[in-house]
Structure 1
Amino acid sequence: MTDFYSDFRGVGANGLTAEQYFYKQVFDAFKANTENQTLPFFNKDLSRIPRELSTGKIINNENSIALEQVASKNGYKSNLWIYGDELNKLQKEVGNLYYKKGTQPVLCLTKYFGSTHLNEQDLYIAEGGSGKKEQYLYNLDSLDERSQQKVRKYYEIANETDRRYTESNYKAFQSNARQNMLGQSDARKNARSRALAASQQGGMNLSMVTQCHYLHNLSNAIGKPNDIHSGLQNPGAQRQCYETCARLAEKVTVGTLKEHEAGRMLCSALNAGTEFQRISVAKGYNLENAKKIEEMKVADYNRNKPYRRSGGMSY
């Protein structure tokens, strides 16, 4: 029976913490993508926000950055991922599962970014799999064809959730665009300013990289990749992006930065693009409204659910 890596086991003599390993894997994949001209921002195959298969939830924040960098490096065409622990459990139900030669599972960490995390659609790593804060995820394309068929029952959950998600985002994006035509939205201006400020990392201007990541995420989030993705095909923008990425990679080569330090810088700049994308598809450019709506739905459910006394009677 295949042993799918589940929880972080440490990294031998290097003595890396889980967080250091996380950022190092980001940088290693990023460096390879820069050298091979395979950065995920320009990858048409990665046309949806990363999702975890067994829950159907989107994987956001820095974890999505790690997943997409590794996916592009390895030539995966899927942005569907599943916990190693979930695969180990599944084998007991459906029989042996196998991954392809050269498979690289991605370590993801539980991230707590602000109060706008939506429990209905956003995944915290520790809420699934083995429940640990650091867990490995496998891309669907890293499994052999027979194993993919065995986990196919999850596809419908993820695909239907993605359909509703992108449909809702597209409507909000159109509404926001009409609002912005009437006058520049303060919320949008503030969000863009924060994104640009966060793109300044370690004396480097990574704004072009942040912008490309933002456009890539936006095209995937609204389910209309061709509407936005065409802007990423500009040869000048691509050249500038790759040149910037090469300069960041060079800082590690000459010893100015360690791999995990460069990975952290990159994640900070790209996550700013992720946040700007999320604000762009939030009604009125306000993510807090979405959080309030979710909280009201939970409160309404709790208020109306049957009350049970210890004796088991429902009232």
Structure 2
Amino acid sequence: MKYLVTGGAGFIGSALCHRLMQAPDAQVTVVDKMTYAANPASLDPFKGDSRFRLVKADICDFSRMTELVLTEAPDVIFHLAAETHVDRSIDGADAFVQTNLIGTFAMLQAARALYEKGGKPGFRFVHVSTDEVFGSLGPEGRFDEATAYDPSSPYSATKAGADHLARAWHRTYGLPVLVSNCSNNYGPRQFPEKLIPLMVLNALEGRPLPVYGDGLNVRDWLHVEDHADALVRIAEAGVPGECYAVGGDSEKTNLEIVTLVCALLDARRPARGPHRDLITFVADRPGHDLRYAIDASKIRRDLGWTPSRDFTQGLADTVDWYIANEGWWRPLRETVYAGDRLGTVGA
């Protein structure tokens, strides 16, 4: 099987590459612009492997993407390349519009060129999206595949637009597109602007742990390796034109997450505790959605996928990974992102 993964040097993309490369006959080509959130170190295990190729390119480059897709002729395109951090989209939406909308359009057109040329039997285009396109839930209910779109941020709005493009290319051109909408991911190799790695690294350095508002915003958490398993299953057995909601059934408030991280670090670095004393409440993010939760019954029922990792153990393993892999994150903290507050416009 030949796979093309856009955004494969990012957090979820690299986890997917690790999953795909477990198959001895897999050939994986990664396309990544190598922006701030990409880290080639995440793909170091595949250096020198003839089955793996990393191409530095911008998915918005129509001619380059078409040439690459036609040359590689993959069995599956996993489209993950995206600008993803809500706070950065608040500060500047331009890159989000370009990558998430124009980039998705370019990839769909490239895939269409391959498909209409004959491509390969069973070709699939898996468009990877987020539950944030659905907006905010109240205290009850969960998102599913029939939930109406109601995005709140420039990030989620551009991802919603990308979802609509992907669906339209299936309905209009017959492109075998499948869409996934996943809940919050956590795990190793996540860029330290996101909640869990930011809290871990700030706590290790004795810096404040910023919690937005009252910390009661709720997210459904899924280990990134479970997400990678779900994406592979969608590519293998999903029905073109269908959407699949993917979640971990592990709802936690942001304050709960930070408190759990503090407790784990108290056990591992007791001399620096109690780490909860570092918790600092800051002005809330503008347009901050209250709650996300996923009803993943469709993918469980139709594709036989279920998350395999317990959240408590998964979080502990994640904290341990960051402690043991300072060589991965220290250069990012020193040269790319030091942990400063983002997304303060209107806060």
Please tell me the TM-score bracket, short chain as reference. Answer: under 0.3
The structure with the larger Rg is: 1
- Between Structure 1 and Structure 2, the one with more strand by share is 2
Q: TM-score, normalised by structure 2?
A: 0.23
Q: TM-score, normalised by structure 1?
A: 0.25
Greater relative contact order (Cα < 8 A, sep 6+): 1
- Between Structure 1 and Structure 2, the one with more helix by share is 1
